[in-house]
């Protein structure tokens, strides 16, 4: 079906979002044009502001509007431990349980031999640089329990162990293939408490 260009373009934009097919995109586009001018303005403004004002922390890689981020600059946090996660959404999930008080490192991806993603393709070099002359004694790898999550944790362990840094992995409270982002708080807390040394 042919739509006027503006709505066709809007549909096309919505299809660029993850999990949105042409049908949903069409529904969202028509819904959007039915919204009030004020709501549409806010929507567009928030979209642009989020993209323009957010950056990645130069220390930990977390998404932030301040560089370094407020976790890296928080003097009350335990600087002897770094929790390594796949993306910023995992940081939010961990922060929500309010039981972890160390620092983070966001990889923005996982090593994936199957998909040709090498250690150089993710934010890993900065972790190693970060660990040189720092007071970090433990790195907790909190990648998801998937094949790529495993490959990543094995690699990190192999690189850091010779440097005398204790490398641990979240306990298997998390089901295989499950996402940290969606784990409930009790499961996540148990996974941190029962972490195992690699
Ligand atoms: Zn940071």
**19 alpha carbon to ligand 1 midpoint, in Å?**
29
- Asked whether residue 177 carries a pLDDT value surpassing 60, the answer given is no
**50 alpha carbon to ligand 1 midpoint, in Å?**
18
**106 alpha carbon to ligand 1 midpoint, in Å?**
9
**32 alpha carbon to ligand 1 midpoint, in Å?**
35
* Sequence-ordered list of residues with C-beta below 8 angstroms from that of 36, at least 6 positions apart, any chain: none
Write out the residues surrounding ion ligand 1, Cβ under 5 A: 57, 59-60, 62, 68-69, 72
HEC letters along 64-83: ECCCCCCCCCCCCCCCCEEE
Give strand pairing partners of 141.
84, 169
- Asked whether residue 175 carries a pLDDT value surpassing 70, the answer given is no
Q: Please answer whether residues 109 and 86 qualify as being in contact, where contact means their C-beta atoms are separated by less than 8 angstroms.
A: yes
More confident residue, 188 or 109: 109
* Sequence-ordered list of residues with C-beta below 8 angstroms from that of 82, at least 6 positions apart, any chain: 102, 103, 104, 105, 127, 130, 131, 136, 138, 139, 140
Please report the domains of the chain, with CATH numbers, ordered by start residue. Answer: 5-51 (1.10.8.420), 77-197 (3.40.1360.10)
* Rounded average pLDDT over 134-142: 91
* Rounded average pLDDT over 131-142: 89
**66 alpha carbon to ligand 1 midpoint, in Å?**
9
**26 alpha carbon to ligand 1 midpoint, in Å?**
38
The pLDDT, as a whole number, for residue 178 is 59
* Rounded average pLDDT over 9-38: 96
**92 alpha carbon to ligand 1 midpoint, in Å?**
13
* Residue 194 pLDDT class (50, 70, 90 cuts): confident
Q: Tell me: the pLDDT tens digits for 64-73? A: 999 999 999 9
**57 alpha carbon to ligand 1 midpoint, in Å?**
5
Q: Tell me: the pLDDT tens digits for 75-128? A: 999 999 999 999 999 999 899 888 899 999 999 999 998 899 999 999 999 999
**68 alpha carbon to ligand 1 midpoint, in Å?**
5
**142 alpha carbon to ligand 1 midpoint, in Å?**
17
Q: Tell me: the pLDDT tens digits for 44-81? A: 999 999 999 999 999 999 999 999 999 999 999 999 99
User: pTM value?
Assistant: 0.78
């Amino acid at each position: 079906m042919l739509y006027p260009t503006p709505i066709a373009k809007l549909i096309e934009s919505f299809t660029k979002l993850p999990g949105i097919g042409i049908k949903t995109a069409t529904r969202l586009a028509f819904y959007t044009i039915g919204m009030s001018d004020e709501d549409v303005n806010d929507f567009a403004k928030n979209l642009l502001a989020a993209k323009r004002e957010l950056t990645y922390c130069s220390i930990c890689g977390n998404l932030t509007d301040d560089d370094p981020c407020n976790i890296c600059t928080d003097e009350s946090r335990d600087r002897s431990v770094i929790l390594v996660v796949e993306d910023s959404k995992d940081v939010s999930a961990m922060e929500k349980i309010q039981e972890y008080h160390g620092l983070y490192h966001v990889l923005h991806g996982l090593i994936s031999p199957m998909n040709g993603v090498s250690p150089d393709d993710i934010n890993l070099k900065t972790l190693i640089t970060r660990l040189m002359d720092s007071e970090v004694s433990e790195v907790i790898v909190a990648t998801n329990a998937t094949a790529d999550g495993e490959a990543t944790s094995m690699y990190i362990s192999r690189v850091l162990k010779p440097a005398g840094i204790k490398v641990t992995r979240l306990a298997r409270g998390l089901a295989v293939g499950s996402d940290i982002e969606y784990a409930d708080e009790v499961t996540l807390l148990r996974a941190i408490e029962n972490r195992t040394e690699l």
